[in-house]
């Protein structure tokens, strides 16, 4: 099935959100079906490795280093601060880490990478006009990323078979929300449909 608004442009960028070891292994933040979507995410990244940006969610060293309500958040999840975490857990999952470089990695302190100047600079340098989004979690960091991308005016395409969450119910609710309320700004498509519509010159 063709994408609603036509083929992707050469300015398309694959934004892979937080596919990190932290969320794959048995930590307090484990996302059980990350491994299920990993082959599809890997195919997107491998096919478009020079047009892929990986984000990594990096907690503060300790709750006291966070601002505002984030202090309460990290007081609840103190074991997930970098003071306690094995640094290896912050890294991309091994099948994806091999693509960077040429893929770019941007670290972020909050749910959306748009809060990081390095992410905005990367999109400008890549002359991005369209963002293909994969990764996790659908109802947290992906949601924040998509909403900021919409506000910034990007064409946004969600790879609906390359997203994951810990909660099926809220994942499904967010996908319905995008389809029903953001139909002019957010498209849903499979990774296969996306790749079929992406110019081969954007490898």
**Where along the chain do its domains lie?**
12-58+90-196
User: How much is the pTM?
Assistant: 0.94
Q: What is the pLDDT of residues 40-65, one digit of tens each?
A: 999 999 999 999 999 999 999 999 99
CB neighbour class for 68 (10 Å; exposed up to 12, middle 13-18, buried from 19): exposed
Is the pLDDT at 202 greater than 50? The verdict is no
CA–CA distance, 29 with 123 (Å, rounded to integer): 28
Q: What is the pLDDT of residues 150-168, one digit of tens each?
A: 999 999 999 999 999 999 9
What is the pLDDT of the chain when averaged over all its residues? Answer: 94
Give me the CATH code for the 12-58+90-196 domain, please: 3.40.50.850
Is the pLDDT at 129 greater than 80? The verdict is yes
CA–CA distance, 107 with 201 (Å, rounded to integer): 27
Confidence of residue 2 (pLDDT cuts 50, 70, 90): low
Q: What is the pLDDT of residue 199?
A: 79
CA–CA distance, 54 with 19 (Å, rounded to integer): 8
CA–CA distance, 184 with 146 (Å, rounded to integer): 13
Q: What is the pLDDT of residue 135?
A: 97
**Which among 102, 114, 145, 129 has a CA at the least distance from the CA of 16?**
145
3-class secondary structure, 13: strand
Average pLDDT score over residue span 105-126: 97
Average pLDDT score over residue span 94-122: 97
């Amino acid at each position: 099935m063709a994408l609603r608004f036509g083929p992707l442009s050469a300015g398309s960028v694959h934004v892979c959100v937080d596919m990190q070891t932290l969320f794959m292994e048995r930590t307090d933040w484990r996302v059980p079906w990350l491994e299920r979507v990993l082959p599809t995410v890997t195919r997107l990244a491998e096919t478009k490795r020079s047009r892929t940006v990986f984000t990594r969610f990096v907690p503060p060293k300790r709750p006291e280093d966070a601002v505002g309500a984030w202090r309460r958040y990290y007081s609840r999840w103190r074991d997930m601060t970098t003071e306690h975490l094995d640094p290896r857990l912050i890294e991309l999952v091994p099948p994806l880490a091999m693509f960077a470089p040429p893929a770019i990695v941007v670290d972020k302190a909050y749910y959306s990478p748009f809060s990081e100047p390095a992410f905005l600079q990367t999109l400008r340098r890549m002359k991005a006009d369209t963002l293909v989004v994969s990764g996790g979690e659908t109802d947290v960091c992906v949601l924040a990323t998509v909403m900021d991308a919409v506000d910034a005016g990007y064409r946004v395409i969600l790879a609906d078979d390359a997203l994951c969450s810990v909660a099926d119910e809220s994942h499904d609710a967010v996908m319905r929300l995008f389809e029903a309320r953001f139909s002019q700004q957010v498209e849903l498509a499979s990774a296969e449909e996306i790749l079929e519509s992406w110019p081969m010159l954007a490898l």
